[in-house]
């Protein structure tokens, strides 16, 4: 059952990526603007324009351009950036770790905030405490992440400057890293001085991304907990003399967390997409910031590469969540 589900998801993933590649390729080519004109000086001749158009394959039909690009992608060649004159895949891979680190830290912060709030709300159901948590969740959801980012910059960057407001790491520091996963590698190497500086730059953008997700986690997990807490085995645990908090943590939480797990996986993909604006706001050197520069410069190969990588991440995360749900759900595991 699980193997069949996995194969179906793989097929769906391939079709999805193919569809994304077609849509993105066509849209960015019919959009107004000429990327070649942005590369040439004002006195460039028509011969110069034609030469560059031929160099980047823009003199062919859209169908020809697509299949040439697709054949390159299938071989791991995403083309050359028009604005940066570098290999697209190298550029994407140099920025992707920063975005993934930011997203993972934001997810951990969201779980650290939303989980305890859900437990407290379920334990204090029907009281003013639960009502206060619901109001806080509503406020966190109603405010977009970029406004949270502006508020955090004002609070912790200007009025109470304890965190860095731009960049990924302080320029004065030497970075003896092998990979681009600076934060994770600094922790593994026990370089907590570097980890502290990296986290100081990362905290505010991660928190801005985390607050709306924390509200979603809190609200859904609280609802699931309240439903599970009416079941017989939870009532039996109360009869045995366990405290309400122990009943929630030891008996109810493991079953209530399953639907929340699925939602968190889906929301995590949206969180990664939300890094585009947040990275720009905090001048964070990630893939989202590069995506905005690529759009501004009409860098077609780079836009295509970034969007396709984002799409691949989305479908891989959804695949992982779907498989995890199937493994943890006995009805699907033994169906």
**pLDDT tens readout for residues 185-202:** 999 989 898 999 999 999
Average pLDDT in the chain: 85
Alpha carbons 59 and 209: distance in angstroms, whole number: 42
% of the chain beyond a pLDDT of 90:
33
Residue with tokens 């609802």: 223
**Residue 229: other Cβ atoms inside 10 A:** 20
User: Which of the 8 DSSP states describes residue 159?
Assistant: I
Q: Is the pLDDT of residue 92 over 90?
A: yes
Q: What is the predicted pLDDT for the residue at 279? A: 94
Helix (H, G, I), strand (E, B) or coil at 298: coil
pLDDT band at 306 (very low <50, low <70, confident <90, very high): very high
Q: What pairs with residue 87 in β-bridges?
A: 80
**Token couple for 176:** 């003896």
DSSP 256-289: HHHHHHHHHHHHHHHHHHHHHHHHHHTT--SHHH
User: Which of the 8 DSSP states describes residue 76?
Assistant: T
Q: What element of type H or E holds 324?
A: helix 300-328
243-266 pLDDT per residue, tens: 777 878 777 787 788 778 778 877
54-66 pLDDT per residue, tens: 777 777 788 888 8
Taking Cα atoms as reference points, which of 286, 281, 283 lies closest to residue 102?
A: 286
Q: What is the predicted pLDDT for the residue at 29? A: 76
120-152 pLDDT per residue, tens: 998 888 889 999 999 999 999 899 889 999 999
pLDDT band at 154 (very low <50, low <70, confident <90, very high): very high
Q: Which residues of 84-104 are buried (b: 16+ CB within 10 A; e: fewer)?
A: beebbeebbeebbbbbbbbbb
210-224 pLDDT per residue, tens: 999 999 999 999 988
Task: Specify whether the CB–CB gap between 89 and 100 falls below 8 A.
Answer: no
What mean pLDDT is predicted for residues 223-237? 81
Q: What is the predicted pLDDT for the residue at 150? A: 93
Task: Specify whether the CB–CB gap between 198 and 183 falls below 8 A.
Answer: yes
Q: What is the CA radius of gyration of the chain?
A: 24
23-66 pLDDT per residue, tens: 888 887 777 666 666 666 666 777 877 787 777 777 778 888 88
Dihedral pair phi/psi, residue 174, rounded to 5°: -85, 140
Q: Is the pLDDT of residue 240 over 90?
A: no
| Whole-prediction pTM | 0.86
pLDDT band at 68 (very low <50, low <70, confident <90, very high): confident
Rounded to an integer, what is the distance from CA 293 to the centroid of its chain? 18
Q: Is 260 exposed, middle or buried (0-12, 13-18, 19+ CB in 10 A)?
A: buried
Alpha carbons 8 and 11: distance in angstroms, whole number: 5
Helix (H, G, I), strand (E, B) or coil at 190: coil
**Residue 266: other Cβ atoms inside 10 A:** 15
Q: What pairs with residue 80 in β-bridges?
A: 87
Rounded to an integer, what is the distance from CA 227 to the centroid of its chain? 30
pLDDT band at 321 (very low <50, low <70, confident <90, very high): confident
């Amino acid at each position: 059952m699980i193997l069949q589900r996995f194969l179906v998801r793989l097929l769906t993933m391939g079709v999805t990526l193919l569809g994304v590649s077609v849509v993105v390729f066509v849209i960015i080519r019919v959009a107004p603007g000429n990327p070649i004109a942005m590369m040439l000086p004002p006195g460039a001749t028509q011969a110069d324009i034609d030469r560059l158009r031929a160099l980047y394959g823009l003199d062919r039909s859209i169908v020809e351009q697509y299949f040439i690009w697709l054949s390159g992608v299938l071989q791991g060649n995403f083309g050359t950036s028009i604005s940066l004159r570098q290999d697209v895949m190298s550029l994407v891979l140099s920025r992707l770790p920063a975005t993934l680190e930011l997203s993972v830290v934001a997810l951990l912060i969201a779980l650290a905030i939303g989980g305890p709030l859900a437990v407290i709300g379920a334990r204090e159901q029907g009281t003013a405490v639960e009502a206060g948590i619901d109001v806080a969740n509503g406020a966190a959801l109603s405010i977009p992440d970029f406004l949270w980012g502006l508020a955090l910059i004002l609070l912790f960057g200007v009025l109470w400057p304890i965190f860095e407001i731009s960049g990924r790491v302080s320029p004065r520091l030497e970075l003896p890293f092998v990979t681009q996963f600076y934060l994770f590698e600094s922790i593994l190497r026990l370089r907590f001085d570097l980890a502290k500086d990296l986290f100081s730059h990362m905290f505010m953008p991660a928190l801005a991304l985390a607050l709306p997700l924390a509200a979603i986690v809190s609200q859904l997990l609280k609802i699931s907990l309240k439903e599970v807490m009416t079941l017989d085995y939870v009532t039996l645990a109360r009869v045995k003399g366990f405290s309400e908090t122990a009943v929630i943590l030891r008996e109810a939480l493991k079953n209530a967390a399953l639907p929340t797990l699925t939602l968190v996986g889906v929301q995590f993909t949206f969180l990664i997409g939300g890094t585009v604006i947040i990275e720009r706001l905090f001048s964070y050197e990630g893939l989202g910031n590069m995506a905005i520069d690529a759009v501004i410069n009409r860098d077609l190969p780079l836009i295509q590469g970034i969007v396709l990588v984002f799409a691949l991440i989305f479908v891989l995360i959804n695949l992982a969540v779907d498989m995890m749900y199937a493994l943890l759900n006995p009805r699907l595991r033994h169906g």
